[in-house]
Structure 1
């Protein structure tokens, strides 16, 4: 978290605390005014029912602890007024009864207000969840609509993303070499056009397998791509998520998750395989979607995962 955000959070907390203290002081002043007015009018007029107002406001605005405090204050204020104006000849038992009765009255008021506040908060939380779910659904549909099959004109963007993957450690560093990039561009273009490519098999040797490139385009910019390969020949029912990159500014915004979800959905009738580095974000995305480790690559750099 940046220093500016930390300062903003501190300021917000202090403002909340300051506003709570101001509210508390205001309610105490209101409680005192009602109490003084009740004493001043003597036995003729009782203003003690109005003590419900600061008690209810404390419960609604400040929460349980302050509500309990105002229940006690209001009960004591009501009994004190009763004792000095109307209960001069009553014994301790009647005063205790009056105190318990007052506490019950103000307590019920506070509990009802706290219940209503709880229901209000629950409705607000539910509304936020519905709003967030709708926002996520809109985001998902937007990403879904932006995922499309690559065309030869996308190769430059795919090479750019591949280079960024090599620089961040997701791919072998050789992909950052200009000669290697030119070879990759030719291979990717041929794969997009022909739908097939030569690959090294895990069991040894090479074979021509199906290859597909999918890109995610946002605001007319290709921000992610994935390369899907067949595993052991043209007729195999397996598909491997061989490579995937998300451009740095778009990481953490659900693009990678949507690409993986698209892979799982689009090829759901096939056995799915993926290769990724141990501890990578890709590994977490795949394991959450039911992929389990199958083996390691020959050079031990990659985990091979599968989902049936």
Structure 2
């Protein structure tokens, strides 16, 4: 598959370069045609003003270098016609003056075409940015409306996501054990119903703390969840993002970022804490949102980050 993509990219580059060569050849042919008509008609009719067409098209379609080349070619063509039909007895200084005057005229035309092309490209870039921003905002709103509090019926999906996280290395491998999953099912269901759970304190011992589960549901399927715990008792204002998982097929689609944003916004008047592995995507997401290292877990497997 990567080899096929490389071949496709090379073919596209060849087609792009070939099309530029064809454009360049066509403009040269147009330049030559206007020049021959100008020479053939003699002093009666001058076609030199029409040389602005290939010059402007070269600037618009091919860029600065091609524009400079056509400015020189058009100026030389105009001076040759002038010398052959009207300036046979003029000296080099007058021919040089005619060349500089022609070059100025065609250069102004080329610069105008380059300026208009630049403005058009700038407008197109701005339009793409606006369109992309609107698309991201629509996507964010759709996802934001998909976040809700978990209910007991969501526990099966939460266990599925937890198991997937254990298999991918995001959680401890113990969560993939069937006995452990049964215990987690009972614990999560009780936490959703009671809003409280028993947790180990960092200073040692255990206490009952508030617990909340939030899920992201898209197309009637729970694709992500996060578990929020109190830190040191029910009266504490601190909240910890204790666990979060995103379904594999929805990673890279902004779900994880949105869940973390929701955590930061929903609990913005509290001190926030989160545990994550060193070098993980979660660590980068939290660091971008102002979280800093607070401590390490006893096993050193997890970093504890905090934001005041």
Partner of 1:303: 303
Structure 1 residues 245-271: Cα deviation after superposition (integer angstroms, max 9, x where no partner): 111111111110000000000000110
Tell me by how many angstroms 1:60 deviates: 0.8
Q: Work out the CA distance in 2 between the residues paired with 1:124 and 1:6.
A: 28
Note the alpha carbon deviations across 1:101-160, whole angstroms, 9 max, x for none: 111000000000100000000000000000000000000000000000001111111011
The residue aligned with 1:233 is: 233
Distance in 2 separating the partners of 1:7 and 1:243? 43
Q: May I ask how many residue pairs the two structures share in their alignment?
A: 308
Matched position secondary structure for 1:210: strand
Secondary structure of 1:236 counterpart: coil
SS class of match (1:140):
helix
Alignment match, 1:219: 219
Deviation of the 1:19 alpha carbon: 1.1
* CA distance in structure 2 between the aligned counterparts of 1:51 and 1:115, rounded to whole angstroms: 19
- 1:10 shift after superposition: 2.2
SS at match of 2:209: strand
Give the Å deviation of 1:97.
Answer: 0.4
| TM-score, L = length of structure 1 | 0.98
Uncovered stretches (5+) of structure 2, i.e. residues with no partner: none
Residue 55 of structure 2 corresponds to 55
> 1:210, CA displacement in angstroms?
0.4
Distance in 1 (CA, whole Å) between partners of 2:133 and 2:4 is: 29
Q: Tell me the distance in 1 between the aligned counterparts of 2:173 and 2:207.
A: 25
Partner in structure 1 of residue 75 of structure 2: 75
Match of 1:117 in 2: 117
Q: Give the Å deviation of 1:85.
A: 1.1
Alignment-derived partner of residue 66 in structure 2:
66
For 2:295 and 2:194, how far apart are their aligned partners in 1?
30
CA drift of 1:4 comes to: 3.5
User: How do 1:1-308 and structure 2 match up within 5 A?
Assistant: 2-308=2-308
For residues 164-204 of structure 1, the C-alpha deviation after alignment (integer angstroms, 9 at most, x for no partner) is 11111111100011111111011000000100000000010
For the residues of structure 2 that align with 1:276 and 1:6, how far apart are their CA atoms? Answer: 37
Q: SS at 2:243's partner residue?
A: strand
**Equivalent-residue separation in structure 1 for 2:105 and 2:235 (angstroms):** 80
TM-score, normalising length from structure 2?
0.98
Distance 1:152 1:22 in 2: 67
SS of the counterpart of 1:298? coil
Superposition RMSD in Å: 0.9
Q: CA deviation at 1:62?
A: 1.0
Runs (4 or more) in structure 1 with deviation over 4 Å come to none
Deviation string, structure 1 residues 281-300 (Cα, Å, up to 9, x no partner): 00000000000000100110
Distance 1:156 1:65 in 2: 65
Deviation at 1:39? 0.5
